[in-house]
């Protein structure tokens, strides 16, 4: 399916009709402007078409403006299924890094107070927060302690002195997903992940010091409600997930689903979409294991945030409260969640797969912190270390996407292409000359994350806004970055 063959629904929405290929149960919709659409690899359209064949899928298979090809689903893919009518759960619609997500901290510091200290601050963060492939944290979780962490998520951290109760209020699902089943997690997944909590990992994961400038604030009223209330305000963004725990859980259940899906009469064109009905033995087991990984990721980001608070408090010789270090929000990217959505004029419980996509609840919706209810859910859109990120907010118009929106800028190049085109050491040097201090565990990994390997985040957020999926609140500019 080429972009020219798509049906244009609006300036920011294109559709592959249901009759484009045999087996499609619903149309596939791509949210993008024309320029972004042309930049998408052909596999995006192929994968979106395949997703439209999932048993139980409703309305549309969706792809966000930051979409690019992934495993099974495109990254940026969204699909809602009806579990009461054979709806399936597919690890390929969630991703290997289950609950890869972002949390954003506000501070009361300004650029003038911090600018001269960016390099030593980033260096200290790099020393305190382990990053990179196989990085191990300061806490090892095993046995009953691991079971408890898988069940409680960020709550486990708070109960053990790594945070405050208020932190939980500003996490999606309050930092703890119900329905976790530690017994559904394999020994191998436990062993691989037991030492990785409190670590960044590799790839596009990062820990970044940022600044919100007045000129970059699109919605001052909402920005103030979210805690951005001054020009040149310093913020900290954390992007990490469930690490090896989630990767192994996805691997385990993909193999298990491949072996049983014929039993359920499921025959899809792509093995990477291996799935099972949610309310089957295998589907329930994966759902329970996936929720364990979701909670481990919440815990992971909570522990990293605790280290950030320690570093800032030690460096500036003030308490985190005196420094205004407050969690704005923590959002998930790679999940499948049971949610209530309007279908045919009435509420229905659906399983919403979001892979490289962010939940974007509208004002007044249940599940948003009370403080944010009049404004909508914060949506954190992570960009490249060169170009910056966005804080956005959910809108009522996003109902057509099951209240889902973009999660980042989205890749233009594969990691292999980026390594061929960019040099990590040169990139670190050039960014330093621009005033962005970078520390990395891998220069080849740094090359993969060059700004040129990603779409223009202003274009991506603009397309999401044009499609009604979210609204920009503030643009956040990078000052220093820790990369895996």
Q: What is the DSSP string of 265-283?
A: T---S-GGG--EETTSHHH
CA angle 431, 471, 399 (to 5 degrees): 130
b/e 444-462 (16+ beta carbons within 10 angstroms → b): ebbbbbbbebbbbbebbbb
Distance between CA atoms of residues 174 and 172, nearest Å: 5
Say if CB 205 and CB 240 are below 8 A apart: yes
- Helices (H), ranges, 395-441: 415-421, 424-433
Task: Give just the sign of the alpha carbon dihedral 6, 454, 71, 55.
Answer: negative
Closest Cα to residue 27, out of 50, 61, 4?
61
The number of residues making up the chain comes to 484
H helix or E strand, kind and range, residue 457: helix 457-466
**Strand runs (DSSP E) across 255-345, as ranges?**
276-277, 326-332, 335-343
Distance between CA atoms of residues 195 and 246, nearest Å: 13
Say if CB 98 and CB 184 are below 8 A apart: no
- 239, 247, 333, 407: the catalytic one is 407
Per the annotation, the verdict on 341 as an active-site residue is: no
**Beta carbons within 10 angstroms of residue 383's beta carbon:** 28
CA angle 457, 460, 464 (to 5 degrees): 140
In sequence order, the 6+-apart residues with CB closer than 8 A to the CB of 448 are 203, 415, 418, 419, 422
Q: Is 251 exposed, middle or buried (0-12, 13-18, 19+ CB in 10 A)?
A: middle
Q: What is the DSSP string of 195-232?
A: T-TT---STT-EEEEEEEEEEEES-HHHHHHHT--STT
Residue listed under structure tokens 């919605």: 219
Hey, what are 335's tokens? 């999940």
Active site residue ranges: 407
């Amino acid at each position: 399916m080429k972009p020219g063959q798509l049906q244009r629904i609006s300036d920011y929405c294109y559709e592959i009709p249901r009759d484009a290929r045999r087996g499609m149960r619903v149309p596939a919709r791509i949210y993008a402007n024309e320029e972004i659409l042309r930049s998408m690899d052909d596999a995006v359209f192929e994968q979106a078409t395949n997703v439209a064949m999932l048993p139980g899928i409703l309305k549309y298979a969706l792809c966000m403006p930051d979409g690019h090809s992934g495993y099974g689903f495109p990254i940026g893919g969204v699909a809602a299924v009806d579990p009461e009518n054979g709806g399936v759960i597919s690890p390929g619609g969630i991703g290997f890094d289950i609950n890869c997500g972002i949390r954003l901290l506000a501070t009361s510091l300004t650029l003038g107070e911090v600018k001269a200290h960016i390099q030593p601050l980033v260096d200290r963060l790099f020393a305190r927060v382990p990053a990179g492939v196989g990085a191990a944290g300061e806490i090892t979780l095993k046995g009953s302690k691991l079971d408890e962490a898988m069940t409680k998520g960020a709550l486990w951290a708070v109960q053990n002195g790594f945070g405050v109760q208020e932190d939980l209020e500003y996490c999606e699902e309050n930092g703890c997903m119900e329905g976790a089943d530690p017994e559904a997690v394999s020994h191998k997944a436990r062993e691989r992940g037991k030492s990785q909590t409190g670590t960044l990992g590799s790839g596009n994961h990062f820990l970044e010091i940022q600044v919100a400038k007045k000129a970059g604030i699109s919605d001052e009223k909402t920005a103030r409600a979210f805690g951005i209330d001054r020009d040149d305000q310093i913020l900290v963004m954390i992007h990490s997930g469930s690490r090896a725990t989630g990767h192994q859980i996805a691997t385990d259940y993909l193999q298990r689903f491949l072996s049983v899906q014929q039993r359920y009469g499921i025959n899809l064109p792509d093995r990477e979409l291996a799935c099972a009905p949610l309310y089957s033995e295998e589907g329930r087991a994966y759902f329970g294991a996936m929720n364990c990984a979701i909670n481990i990721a919440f815990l992971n980001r909570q522990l990293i945030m605790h280290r950030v608070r320690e570093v800032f408090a030690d460096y500036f010789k003030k308490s985190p409260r005196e420094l205004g270090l407050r969690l704005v929000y923590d959002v998930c990217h790679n999940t499948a969640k049971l949610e209530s959505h309007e279908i045919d004029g009435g509420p229905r419980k659906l399983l919403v797969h979001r892979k490289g996509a962010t939940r974007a609840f509208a004002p007044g919706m249940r599940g948003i912190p009370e403080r944010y209810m009049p404004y909508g859910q914060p949506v954190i859109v992570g960009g490249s270390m060169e170009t910056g990120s966005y804080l956005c907010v959910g809108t009522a118009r996003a109902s057509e996407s099951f209240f889902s929106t973009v999660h980042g800028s989205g890749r233009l190049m594969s990691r292999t292409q980026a390594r061929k085109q960019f040099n990590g050491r040169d990139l670190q040097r050039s960014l330093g000359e621009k005033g962005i201090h970078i520390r990395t565990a891998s220069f080849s990994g740094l090359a993969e994350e060059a700004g040129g390997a990603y779409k223009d985040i202003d274009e991506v957020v603009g397309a999401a806004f044009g499609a009604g999926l979210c609204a920009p609140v503030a643009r956040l500019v990078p000052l220093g970055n820790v990369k895996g």
